Structures are given as structure tokens and as C-alpha cells.
Amino acid sequence: MADVYNYEIVGLRQFQRALKQLGEEFPESLREFNVTAAEKIIAAAKERTHTRQEIKAAESLRAGRAVNAATVRLGDNRRYAFARGAEWGARKYRQFRPWRGNQWRS
């Protein structure tokens, strides 16, 4: 089972309820906006790749088509088993560089 990280944005539910009052065509517009946002995140991630593993992992990124969220999926567990290591690094496996946001460098 894939790891899922959830974040809560204060006021988002109220905002979504207000958006539903805008009309029946709005959900599809919101879905397209979310896909566009996710695609921009993917493009920015691809620009920041350096190693062959990072480049290959970035090729596995996919934008989700949800109404209520902009989603990005990283890698297929079988084909891109190394994707998480390439993105976040690993202490145990030295082939992965440390994640740029972590504090460990050993």
C-alpha cells in the first residue's frame, strides 16, 4: 500500500462549499485547475533533477484528476521501486543522495 500524506488547510471545506454554489459546470473547471497546478509542480520537480535516478523517478510523476485536490503521484512501486529513495534519500542505501530538506548528512 502506498504511503499517503494528508495536509489540512484551515477554511478549505467552507471554501469548497461556497464554490459548489457557483454552478454545475464549476467542478470540471476546478478539476482542470487542479490538474494544471499539479502539472506545474511536476515541471518544477523535473527541472531540479540531477542524477540519472532522479531523472528517471521524475519521469514517473503523474498529475491526478481530482476535484477537491491537486495531486501528484510518484512512481509505480514495481517499475520505479527506487523513486522514493531518489526523491527523499536514504541513510542505508548510499546510492541515494540526501534529500535536500533533511538534516542528516552521514
- The per-residue pLDDT for range 4-22, each reduced to its tens digit, is 666 677 887 888 788 778 8
Where in the chain are the domains?
Answer: 12-88
What confidence score (pLDDT) does residue 30 get? 82
Cell of 87: 526523491
pTM of the complete model beyond 0.85 = no
- The per-residue pLDDT for range 56-73, each reduced to its tens digit, is 888 889 898 877 788 888
- Nearest-10 crossing angle of helices 12-20, 26-47: 130
Read off the DSSP letter of residue 12. Answer: H
Q: How confident is the model at residue 98 (pLDDT cuts 50, 70, 90)?
A: low
- Nearest-10 crossing angle of helices 26-47, 52-59: 170
